[in-house]
Chains A and B, each alone.
Chain A
Amino acid sequence: MDIATKLFYVFLGLFIVLNWGMLMSATMRKIGARIAGRYGIPFYQPWIDLVKLYSLRDSITHGVMFYLGPVFRLAGGLGMFLFMPMIFGSEYFSNFSFAGDLVLIMYFQFFGMLGMALGASEGAHPYSAIGISRGLSQFTTIEVPMTLAIISLAIQYHTLSISDIVAAQQGGIMNWTLFTNPFATIAAMLSLLGAFGHSPFNLVKAPNEIPIGPPTEYHSSFLGVLRTNAAILHVVEAVLFMNLFFGGATSWLELIIKSFLIYFWSVFVGVVFPRFRIEQSVQWFLKIPLLFGVIAIIIFM
């Protein structure tokens, strides 16, 4: 396949992922509203918000890093997407996955956060700095159980390629990592709650805490880029977990159903449990999820 066709399919996949991500975030807010007894936003609200953000007439800047913050964040999301095989067995939607893509994706997960830290600190708003330090400390602890689970998978399947891990899970539901390596799945699914940043762990960006943390100073098209990235990132994270633990997807329909269920798991927890403070969430991730991660490693040693 020549590079032009490849790029065409990459952009097609990106388009689908972006819109699916927007629809998912709208659905999640709709579910939250219905649980609170409200009617909630119309399902197309995220698209309108995005158009409005990109079409604001003013946007002021605080310097070069302030511009680059959202760009780095978007690069994190896009990087994860580019190296993620979306549809198993499909030549067109495997993107640029290669033998060691799992490591690269783990790196890109953190990359966006670091870029955001640089940009937000240039904004010189004290709340941005506090938000960033909270976000980084929480995300570091989220990474610990997640990394342990992924190392456990690497030991189990003797590979760091996502495509190979998906291939090993084919042939029936009992081949899924969910059943072959339940401890790693539990550890990863618990850390996923933090990675999505819904209710128990949404202190970093919650509007009614220290005003929305890192993006305090971001506005108009800067915020639009951040929102675009959030939509992509949510789908790609869900697809990552789908590939690693739930047997991957062989069609877009399967991908949509599975990623929605994975996303819904974090939404479900989010509407039930109240918000943790930052030190509580750090402690929480270093207890049960970490324990499951260590057990998962020991079993496959």
Chain B
Amino acid sequence: MTNENKNHDKFLHEENKIREVEAPDGSIIKVDPLNDYFLTDRPVVREPKNKVVEKFLNWARAESLWVLGFGTGCGSIEIPPLVTPRFDAYRFGVQMRPTPRQSNVFIISGYLAVKTLKRVIRTYEQMQGPKYVLALGSCTINGGMYWDSYNTINRLDHFIPVDVYVAGCMPRPEALLAGFAKLKERIKAGRAEGANEYAEKFDWYKANQKKIINDWNMPDYNW
């Protein structure tokens, strides 16, 4: 796969345009930043190991959910109370991590503007599989109160695979804890294969994403 670099695209940033640079020895080199500076590989499907081992590993994955602390919408204000004495999500093995590389659970907390969606996709792709998405609030299901907005997406599951939806506007932290419980059930049953699904239906997801995000300016798959 190569990253499509449409030089005529009016939203292509200056630093991503195909250009010619002069090397120190005087020769002219053609640089295509999107293909030269980034990897161009597609995500691949990782098959689960044999049944018994996978069951144990899934149990470990379910009991150790590392959440990415990236507040994407108004619901992000419901996440900090989780670690306070009143709700104490640490009891259930839920911990906050500051970087996408180390987290497994991505909480999409509410509405997503197109601008945020771009960052969400980037972040989701940087997480290491198996990874899970917990969509919080009505806005992620059908747009919620922003369903006819000019800049807010309606259905999150058209852009990244979603494991658990928590309905409400906004759901209370208890509902979020219930969502974690549901997610654990799903992982233990071996049904939370969002990363593989993303790899399988990669073209469909990319087409949907690119339909909305005109200002793409990043590689097709962000490692």
Touch between A and B in complex, CB under 8 Å? yes
Contacts of B223 in A (CB 8 A): 60
Q: When A57-B130, A60-B128, A211-B99 are in contact, do A38 and B90 touch as well, CB less than 8 Å?
A: yes
Residue B10 lies at the interface, judged by CB distance under 8 Å to chain A: no
Q: What's the least CB distance linking A11 to chain B, in Å?
A: 24
Judging by beta carbons under 8 Å apart, are B128 and A49 in contact?
no
Residue A64 lies at the interface, judged by CB distance under 8 Å to chain B: no
CA distance A41 to B83 in the complex (A): 11
CA distance A208 to B83 in the complex (A): 13
Judging by beta carbons under 8 Å apart, are A56 and B130 in contact?
yes
Residue A286 lies at the interface, judged by CB distance under 8 Å to chain B: no
Judging by beta carbons under 8 Å apart, are B129 and A40 in contact?
no
Residue B61 lies at the interface, judged by CB distance under 8 Å to chain A: yes
Contacts of A51 in B (CB 8 A): 57, 60, 64
Q: C-beta contact mask, B110-147 vs A, less than 8 Å → 1, else 0? A: 00000000000000000011100000000000000000
Residue B96 lies at the interface, judged by CB distance under 8 Å to chain A: yes
Contact of B128 among A45, A59, A208, A216 (CB under 8 A): A59
Which partner residue on chain A sits nearest B56 by CB separation?
A51
Judging by beta carbons under 8 Å apart, are B93 and A218 in contact?
no
- Count contacts on A: residues with CB < 8 A to the other chain: 30
Contacts of B84 in A (CB 8 A): 38
Judging by beta carbons under 8 Å apart, are B99 and A41 in contact?
no
Contacts of B130 in A (CB 8 A): 56-57
Judging by beta carbons under 8 Å apart, are B101 and A217 in contact?
yes
Q: When A56-B130, A217-B101, A220-B128 are in contact, do A41 and B85 touch as well, CB less than 8 Å?
A: no
> Most B CB atoms within 10 A — which of A45, A49, A56, A217?
A56
Residue A52 lies at the interface, judged by CB distance under 8 Å to chain B: yes
Q: When A57-B130, A220-B128 are in contact, do A52 and B98 touch as well, CB less than 8 Å?
A: no
Q: C-beta contact mask, A27-67 vs B, less than 8 Å → 1, else 0? A: 00000010011111110010011011001111110000000
Judging by beta carbons under 8 Å apart, are B93 and A58 in contact?
no
Question: Which residues on B are within 8 Å of A, measured CB to CB?
Answer: 46, 57, 60-61, 63-64, 69, 84-85, 88, 90-91, 93, 95-99, 101-102, 104, 128-130, 195, 223
Additional pairs, 12, CB under 8 Å, beyond known A48-B64, A52-B60, A207-B98:
A37-B85, A39-B88, A45-B63, A49-B64, A52-B57, A56-B130, A58-B129, A58-B195, A207-B69, A208-B98, A215-B102, A217-B99
Top 10 A-B residue pairs of the complex, sorted by shortest distance between their CB atoms: A211-B98, A219-B101, A37-B85, A51-B60, A57-B46, A52-B64, A58-B128, A55-B57, A58-B129, A38-B88
Question: Which residues on A are within 8 Å of B, measured CB to CB?
Answer: 33, 36-42, 45, 48-49, 51-52, 55-60, 207-208, 211-212, 215-220, 223
